[in-house]
Amino acid sequence: MADEREPPPMEESNENNEDDIFSEAIEEQPDEDSKQEPTRVPIKADINTDDLFSGEGDEDESNPFNSVEPPKPTEEPTPTPQISVSSHSSSSAVKVTASKPSKEEEEEEDEFTIDIKVSDPQKMGDGMGAYMVYRVRTKTSVPAFRKAELSVLRRFSDFLGLHSKLAEKHVSKGVIVPPAPEKSVIGMTKIKVSKDDSGSSDFIEKRRAALERFLTRTASHPLLRMDPDFRDFLEREGDLPKSTNTSALSGAGVMRLFHKVGDAVDKISFKMDESDEWFDERHQQVENLDVQLRKLHSSMETLVHHRKELSLTTMHFSKSAAMLGNAEEHTALSRALSQLAETEERIEIIQHDQADNDFYQMAELLKDYISLLGSVKEVFHERFKTYKVWKEAEATLTKKRENKAKLELAGKNDKVPQAQNEITEWSEKVEKGKEDFEKISQTIRKEMGRFDRHRVEDFKTTVVRYLEQLMENQQKLIKCWEAFLPEAKAIA
């Protein structure tokens, strides 16, 4: 009797197929259903897996096969760009592969690679005038660069200056510019006044890794890696022009602070009538993701702190056990205590390594993406400012037309041509404002697609690597205690 019924419409397939989602797939005739959804199931699944955090992909919920046929890793049509975000890695390679065939701007550089490594931090000068320089090595096959291998020295302010130039040119167009590492007055003061660099090595390594990740993310962007300032940063030998606007206490820094206050006031005084539900949903998702990442980052920092305290306490216990073993007269017990001290010493090293693993892999990744979400919010705010300029131009145009009508009614024909010119001028501004708003909206959509793909890939790679390292350290702990167990049993 099921064969006599007519096939239901596509939008109602979910309701009619709830009873038996497998039988209909088997019983349907090939000539009727050869063009239907089952042949596209793997592609739909891939789209969903690329966006684990954004909450999109609702359009696939009507397909019952998504719940019973998970995507196979071997059936992925195209790989997504993979960027190393590990802060303790010695190099960062950006392999630009075809992530989305529909994006022409990414296809142009698919076959090219950029490998950037920041290394060899050196202290230059003495006293409060001292500063750090880093060796930036680049290997690339991008023809826009003069050489395939480049090596330059750059100081921290050069990195900040590069970010400032890129943000000034591209953020207003809706491009997400990766954030540069934050300045640390306390960390740099310790380096300047300290004669021994050993106490500041941890701070220097963290900064080196953060600078490397900044360049890596910038090089992975199809537009930013072709920027003249970025290529000049990697290619130009010798010192770059000194960046004067990077200090928080400079005139430019104070102006940036005033601009932020003014933007906050604009958000309160001017309400944007959002007509695009996509932007409304994404803005809310970004805010929620920011809150959750900050909570997770705080918890991870607490975990790192406790692991370091545990490592320090284990070291003290090891020393105490060793001293007790030396004072013990019973031979077997003394040997067992000495072995216990050695075991605790090895465990202390493992716990310290795990604390570093927690920080460099997870805490730094979370911190990076909290900063990246700040850059995402900036482009959303630029869209808001573009909308505000457009609507203010429309309001001014309306006033100009009303003024012209009043002049015509008052018989002041000599002023009508000037009023008409003003109307023409503001009409052009309105059209430009509308065009700019549509353009930045389209750019932000593309940028959010890239951001989501890279975010999912980064978190997947980092979490898997973190768990593998965690399990490896746990296995080392087990082996340590298994080796000590015979000594404990040998106490007579």
* Mean per-residue pLDDT of the chain: 79
Residue 69: which pLDDT band, with cuts at 50, 70 and 90? very low
pLDDT at residue 29 above 90? Answer: no
pLDDT at residue 357 above 50? Answer: yes
pLDDT at residue 98 above 90? Answer: no
| Range with the poorest average pLDDT among 38-47, 340-349, 407-416 | 38-47
Characterise 55 by phi-psi region: left (phi > 0), alpha (psi -120 to 50), beta (else).
Answer: left
Burial of 377 (0-12, 13-18, 19+ CB in 10 A): middle
pLDDT at residue 99 above 90? Answer: no
Residue 387: which pLDDT band, with cuts at 50, 70 and 90? very high
Cβ atoms of 377 and 286 closer than 8 Å: yes
- Would you list the DSSP string of 429-488? HHHHHHHHHHHHHHHHHHHHHHHHHHHHHHHHHHHHHHHHHHHHHHHHHHHHHHHHHHHH
What pLDDT score does 30 carry? 42
Mean pLDDT, residues 90-102 taken together: 42
Mean pLDDT, residues 351-377 taken together: 94
Q: How far is CA 141 from CA 95, 222, 379, in A?
A: 10, 14, 30
Mean pLDDT, residues 234-259 taken together: 66
- Whose tokens are 């550089």? That residue is 109
What pLDDT score does 47 carry? 41
Mean pLDDT, residues 159-172 taken together: 95
Q: In three state form, how does the secondary structure of 281-304 look?
A: HHHHHHHHHHHHHHHHHHHHHHHH
Between 416-489 and 331-357, two packed helices, what is the crossing angle to 10 degrees? 170
Sign, Cα dihedral of 325, 330, 331, 337: negative
Mean pLDDT, residues 445-455 taken together: 95
What pLDDT score does 43 carry? 40
What pLDDT score does 259 carry? 55
Mean pLDDT, residues 231-249 taken together: 77
The kind and range of the H/E element at 162 are helix 156-170
What pLDDT score does 261 carry? 55
Residue 239: which pLDDT band, with cuts at 50, 70 and 90? confident
What pLDDT score does 94 carry? 46
What pLDDT score does 492 carry? 62
| Range with the poorest average pLDDT among 163-167, 282-286, 367-371, 409-413 | 409-413
Mean pLDDT, residues 104-128 taken together: 75
Residue 400's identity, in one-letter code, is K
What pLDDT score does 154 carry? 94
Residue 131's identity, in one-letter code, is Y
What distance in Å separates the CA atoms of residue 276 and residue 383, rounded to the nearest whole number?
12
CA-based Rg of the chain, rounded to a whole angstrom?
31
Considering the entire predicted model, what is its pTM?
A: 0.72
Which residues 6+ apart lie within 8 Å of 204 measured at CB?
Answer: 121, 132, 191, 197
Q: How far is CA 449 from CA 55, 110, 112, 278, 440, in A?
A: 13, 17, 21, 12, 14
Cβ atoms of 121 and 133 closer than 8 Å: yes
Residue 250: which pLDDT band, with cuts at 50, 70 and 90? low
What distance in Å separates the CA atoms of residue 383 and residue 377, rounded to the nearest whole number?
10
| Percent of all residues in the chain with a pLDDT value above 90, rounded to a whole number | 56
What is the three-class DSSP state of 228?
A: helix
Closest Cα partner for 179 from 140, 216, 141, 154? 216
> Rounded to 5 degrees, what are φ and ψ at 411?
80, 15
What distance in Å separates the CA atoms of residue 421 and residue 423, rounded to the nearest whole number?
5
Reading the block at residue 481, the tokens are 């205690």
Residue 487: which pLDDT band, with cuts at 50, 70 and 90? confident
What pLDDT score does 139 carry? 94
| Range with the poorest average pLDDT among 142-146, 202-206, 254-258 | 254-258
Which residues 6+ apart lie within 8 Å of 472 measured at CB?
Answer: none
429-440 pLDDT, tens digit each:
999 999 999 999
pLDDT at residue 34 above 60? Answer: no
pLDDT at residue 358 above 70? Answer: yes
Residue 269: which pLDDT band, with cuts at 50, 70 and 90? low
Characterise 121 by phi-psi region: left (phi > 0), alpha (psi -120 to 50), beta (else).
Answer: beta
Mean pLDDT, residues 349-371 taken together: 94
What pLDDT score does 185 carry? 76
Which residues 6+ apart lie within 8 Å of 109 measured at CB?
Answer: 96, 142, 222, 225
pLDDT at residue 351 above 90? Answer: yes
What distance in Å separates the CA atoms of residue 205 and residue 451, rounded to the nearest whole number?
26
Cβ atoms of 384 and 413 closer than 8 Å: no
What pLDDT score does 199 carry? 54
Which residues 6+ apart lie within 8 Å of 17 measured at CB?
Answer: 24, 64
Residue 427: which pLDDT band, with cuts at 50, 70 and 90? very high
Mean pLDDT, residues 362-386 taken together: 95
